[in-house]
Amino acid sequence: MTESGMNQAPQSPIESVLADELARGDVVLGTAGPMLGMLLANYGHGLFSDEVVARVRGMVSHAARQLLYAQANAAGLEDPAEFAAPRCDDLAEAIGRELRFLGHCHALALEYRLAIKLEARSTIDPVLSPGLQAMIASPDGETARLAMQLLASQARFIQQQRRMELPLDELPRALFDHVLATWRGQADGTDENAIEQASQRLRDGHAERARRLDLLAKAAAAVTGGGQPLAIGHFGVALFLSVLAEQSGQEREIVALATDESQVGRLALALRAAGLKHDQVAEQFLLVHPEITLPDAFDTLRADRAATLLAGSGRKELG
């Protein structure tokens, strides 16, 4: 499934074509974490473009700075920046050794890249999509409140990505625990009381936060139950990824990476597994990958067979 191959009549059944494409995508994802780690350490391919690598690097460094600033503030230091500066690179390097953490940052960077591309190319707003507008106008108060929370959270996400930032309280719990454990491991010999105070404050902030990904998951469940058709032009990139993950049974981070051109087979299968018909899948490809067309026999692939092929993938999560 390449720019040339997708335009030719397949020589084998469509399932074999897509299974082969999915297997190639699995290989790419299998090397993505280690390759991204090497690129970050040593600083073409779209999956690892300079812009994406720089954004991941920025997010990892931002995570380290937040920890060190929290430590300095808890210790009562007058200049947290002076304390953090000589320690940030080493802590960032240690945090980035966890491939799941790198994969999370990578998925966010690709999500942002797609959102900005679609804004420029197709005037799809990266914050307020028609689907989210409809939820805000819902007569159901709970749905409207959820949508307003998501609107504010998505606006913050776009601004944070522009600054290459990743707030710690937006991290999934397992990754949040990872960065705290890494920081505490690096902080041996420093003020233990300050470390404990800073750690508790960070945990309290994380527990209180309504995280964007959690809000997106709730919104995806709501719109899925409402039977609205899955369309990136309607939902916008962020909600589209969450709805597609919900409806195709895939991890959201994998779905975000599936929007890269190295993963077109995975994206096509996920869209079909979510129940989209041939012309609906083609409409999404026109927006995400306008230079790629689906093979002629794609309309013969059943949704259940697409789901089966995805379930057989060797890459069900990052890391």
Q: How far apart are CA 157 and CA 127, in angstroms?
A: 9
Give, in order, the Cα–Cα distances in Å from 47 to each of 64, 168, 220: 24, 24, 26
Q: What's this model's pTM, rounded to 2 decimal places?
A: 0.86
Q: Which residue has the tokens 């007058």?
A: 78
Q: Which residue has the tokens 């059943």?
A: 302
Secondary structure, 3-state, 76-125:
CCCCHHHHHHHHHHHHHHHHCCCHHHHHHHHHHHHHHHHHHHHHHHHCCC
Cα–Cα–Cα angle for 279, 283, 289, rounded to 5 degrees:
130
Within the chain, which residues score under 70 in pLDDT?
Answer: 1-13, 27-48, 188-189, 225-227, 314-319
Assigned token pair, 5: 């191959």
Instruction: For 182-241, give the DSSP string.
Output: HHHHHTTTS-HHHHHHHHHHHHHHHHH---HHHHHHHHHHHHHHTT----HHHHHHHHHH
